[in-house]
Structure 1
Amino acid sequence: MNSNASIVLRKKPNRRGHFPLAIRITKYRKSSYLYIGHYIDIKHWDKNKCRVKKSHENAARINNLLFTKLAETNKQLLELQTEMKDYSAGQIKKELSISEKDSNFFELGDIHLKEVKGNNKYGRYSVDKAYLGHIEKYIKCRKLSYKDLDEAFIRKYMQYLRNTAKVSERTIANHLVFIRLIFNRAIRQGLIDRKFYPFGRDKIVIRFPETGKVGLTREEVKKIEDLKNNLSKEEHHARNVWLFSFYLAGIRIADVLRMRWSDIYDNRIHYTMSKNSKVVSLQLPDKIQKILEDYNADKQSENDYIFPELKLVNPENEKSLFDRSKRGNRVLNSYLKNVARKAGIKKKLTMHIARHSFGNIAGDRIPIQMLQKLYRHSSVTTTIMYQSNFMNRETDKALNSVLDF
């Protein structure tokens, strides 16, 4: 077929003056190029050996990628020749690009993001998009084969997240969960053999660090309840929304802001959780009635939102609802700082702390199965792990029994 492949540095620099690395496919003196997604300064290129010099910080990894791609290209060229297929250089490039595209981690990552967004899971979409963006920033391109995504790569990436990106150990674990998700999907689709799977025993084990959850005490919640005349209008509203969430076992802020007057009937509040679409029905505590009185005058209809944050948003536009809820949460948290200060509370007060506060006060007073129902957890194991942050009575008793002398 008179075709061959070679590694080259193309003479078309990008805006930074760096040149692209590529595999050149030549047939009958006509060439096409498969770009590997990396650009380098020309000073790092060894023209004689057709490889990246050791002076480049990622020389070993890029050279390994180059020679792997060259070997794969030559193998496929040989297969085409064996099949007696007479392709032009451009057609060969197209044929090779199909498999190259399918084996790219970012291709499947983008498909995942599109599906999540299509399902109106904008919270998940925002987080997973950030994970994919971190990987792109780390390797400085959008091409990453699954074979290159091995244990060594992941361990170096963890060091990058820890030392350069300065993220927490919990966030690092979440990054790995995202990578594992896409890798598993690639295995199911036959894009990579399971033997290259970098996770599991004797490989990369994802460990979530223990995190301390801080909640308010009964006395501190009482201080917030007693704050009435010393608050601005905005602070009073933030206090109301926080207490509304707390009184209903720590309903998440996204669900609180979506509450409508029509969700309240038979002295109960009924809603569908935005996180997992579970249908929830809770008895309306008497303390909630006092909060609702503050907003009853602004009710336009039974289908109107109880709280004002989403009143001007098109209820059919999930993206707008998500964005406005996120902004509303940020604004409420800013006013909750003032509420905490005026109440004499030194702990950090945010909307999410309402959920922790309920757990802290519940402690080990309520059966774990009942707490599971109140929290709307799918598994009682999740409830046990969550509540373990607040169940201190037995350990306190044990400690005091030793020191009581």
Structure 2
Amino acid sequence: MSASAKLVLRKKPNSKGLYPLAIRITKNRQSTFKHVGHYIDNEDWDEKKLEVKKSHQNAADLNNLLSSKLSEARKGLIALQTTDKDASARQIKTEIYRPTSNLTFFDYADEHLQALEAEKKINRHSTDSAWISYIVKFSKSRQLTFQEIDERFLRKFKIYLKGASALSETTSMNVMVLIRLLYNRSIKDKVVSKELYPFGIGKFKIKFPETLKIGLNHQEMKKLERIDNLSDVERHSLNVWLYSFYFAGMRVSDVLFTRWSQIYDGRLHYRMGKNSKLLSLLIPDKVAKILEHYVFEKSCDDDFIFPEMRKADLTNARDVYNKTKTATKKFNKNLKSVMKKAGISKKVTMHIARHTFGNIAGDSIHPLMLQKLYRHSDLKTTINYQSNFIHKEADEALNRVLNF
């Protein structure tokens, strides 16, 4: 039996109640579907004429697109018949929309890692290398094509990540984000047809779970500022943590790379390591007191304020990354004993300095100002982040109901 291609409106609606337009490829009574990428109301589809009704505002454009896609599919079927290829409906679909290049997913993965290494983004390189290793183990081959990465592949891979690999939902989704990034690059390079894109509405969705962000409160911060029974290493770790907090949760890598030459006119001037933004922040009195503990170690104006990076080979990105990672691990270990002495039960790491600033700021600072302090590129990022620490309206609403 010869294969056929037909326009259809699929019966499974999306979250908005709209139905996907698709091309149905049938062979030996078995069918597979290739979505066109557009959704319409069921009432806008003419089942007899197999076209979008004029009642739809974009009927003409959609019908032209459908005609083009159907013609493309039928040409593919003719080409297969000409070469006497006997295949199932699914194999026919794969053959019609086959990639235009021999480049594989791992060719792109290797290029991605090489670029990160060249740009000296060692932290990202280390993380993405680990995630790519999971894809290698699952696919059991480095010849994985983008065509093979369909919705079914992604669903099975997610089960593998959370099951056999015991990764969290957040980490699993981060691996999917990397796959999506490389898939988009392959489409841009015309290595694979955008028709095969497995992500998005009605396909595989990347959805991150909500995470609980906990910071210290006013009373806990006062305990830390007044604590005095600390060893030298504990005091140093707390100083670095407070320095980060006083500058709105500055990232530990930026803290450790602060030089004395960046401090002048009562301000700190520095370039963020994450996005290369230039910033100028007023030095609070509390930071000035911390600096007094380290000024005697200063050998020159270009020296680092904190000692961790003084022996790092700054021409070697891997060495800088390793020393930053080692320092952070040391700080977090010492902070654990500091919190115990302060009588604080919350788990505190270097990153919690940022959460603590957000928690204490609450809704008392305008989002635009917080955006500047957090050094976010997008205001939405600031609003979403700060929403984790704003509970006033919900608390008042709850009290209004229960206060009887």
For normalisation by structure 1, the TM-score amounts to 0.74
Q: 1:249 to 1:371 in 2, by over 3 A?
A: same
CA drift of 1:291 comes to 0.7
Per the alignment, residue 175 of structure 2 pairs with 175
Letter in 1 for 2:113: L
Letter in 1 for 2:259: R
Per the alignment, residue 211 of structure 1 pairs with 211
Per the alignment, residue 269 of structure 1 pairs with 268
Letter in 1 for 2:109: G
Per the alignment, residue 341 of structure 1 pairs with 340
Say whether 1:162 aligns with 2:124: no
Per the alignment, residue 320 of structure 1 pairs with 319
Say whether 1:117 aligns with 2:132: no
CA distance in 2, matches of 1:168, 1:387: 24
Contact 1:246 1:358 in 2 (8 A): yes
CA drift of 1:317 comes to 2.5
Per the alignment, residue 390 of structure 1 pairs with 389
Per the alignment, residue 284 of structure 1 pairs with 283
CA distance in 1, matches of 2:108, 2:281: 41
Per the alignment, residue 230 of structure 2 pairs with 231
CA distance in 2, matches of 1:298, 1:291: 13
Letter in 1 for 2:401: V
What are the residue-to-residue correspondences of 1:361-372 with 2, within 5 Å? 361-372=360-371
Per the alignment, residue 187 of structure 2 pairs with 187
CA distance in 2, matches of 1:102, 1:379: 38
CA drift of 1:339 comes to 0.5
Per the alignment, residue 359 of structure 2 pairs with 360
**Equivalent position SS for 1:389:** helix
**Equivalent position SS for 1:281:** strand
Structure 1 runs not aligned, ≥5 long: 1-74, 79-98
Contact 2:100 2:190 in 1 (8 A): no
Per the alignment, residue 49 of structure 1 pairs with none
Per the alignment, residue 128 of structure 1 pairs with 128
Letter in 1 for 2:157: Y
Q: Which stretch of the first structure deviates more once superposed, 313-322 or 384-393?
A: 313-322
CA distance in 1, matches of 2:164, 2:327: 31
CA distance in 1, matches of 2:145, 2:280: 47
Letter in 2 for 1:342: K
Structure 2 runs not aligned, ≥5 long: 1-79, 84-98
Could you list the per-position Cα deviations for residues 118-172 of structure 1 after superposition, in whole angstroms to 9, with x for gaps in the alignment? 1111111111111111111222332211111111111000001111111111111
CA distance in 1, matches of 2:125, 2:201: 30
CA distance in 1, matches of 2:307, 2:102: 47
Per the alignment, residue 38 of structure 1 pairs with none
Say whether 1:373 aligns with 2:372: yes
RMSD: 1.5
CA distance in 1, matches of 2:167, 2:256: 29
CA drift of 1:100 comes to 10
CA distance in 2, matches of 1:316, 1:268: 28
**Equivalent position SS for 2:147:** coil
Could you list the per-position Cα deviations for residues 322-361 of structure 1 after superposition, in whole angstroms to 9, with x for gaps in the alignment? 2111111011101000011000000001000000000000
What are the residue-to-residue correspondences of 1:288-303 with 2, within 5 Å? 288-303=287-302
**Equivalent position SS for 1:280:** strand
CA drift of 1:289 comes to 1.1
Per the alignment, residue 253 of structure 1 pairs with 252
Letter in 1 for 2:383: I
Could you list the per-position Cα deviations for residues 195-238 of structure 1 after superposition, in whole angstroms to 9, with x for gaps in the alignment? 1111111111111111110000011111111112x111110100
CA distance in 2, matches of 1:217, 1:272: 29
Could you list the per-position Cα deviations for residues 69-106 of structure 1 after superposition, in whole angstroms to 9, with x for gaps in the alignment? xxxxxx9xx8xxxxxxxxxxxxxxxxxxxx99843110
Letter in 2 for 1:366: I
Q: Which runs of 4+ in 1 moved over 6 A?
A: none
CA drift of 1:262 comes to 0.6
Per the alignment, residue 197 of structure 1 pairs with 197
Contact 2:100 2:191 in 1 (8 A): no
CA distance in 1, matches of 2:111, 2:351: 31
Letter in 2 for 1:265: Y
CA distance in 1, matches of 2:101, 2:253: 38
CA distance in 2, matches of 1:295, 1:140: 53
What are the residue-to-residue correspondences of 1:28-67 with 2, within 5 Å? none
Contact 2:254 2:273 in 1 (8 A): yes
The percent of aligned pairs where both chains have the same amino acid is 49
Could you list the per-position Cα deviations for residues 233-264 of structure 1 after superposition, in whole angstroms to 9, with x for gaps in the alignment? 11010000000000010000010011111111
For normalisation by structure 2, the TM-score amounts to 0.74
CA distance in 2, matches of 1:154, 1:402: 45
CA drift of 1:401 comes to 1.1
Per the alignment, residue 241 of structure 1 pairs with 240
Q: How many residues are aligned here?
A: 308
Contact 2:233 2:334 in 1 (8 A): yes
CA distance in 2, matches of 1:114, 1:101: 21
Could you list the per-position Cα deviations for residues 287-328 of structure 1 after superposition, in whole angstroms to 9, with x for gaps in the alignment? 011111111111111101100111111223222212111111
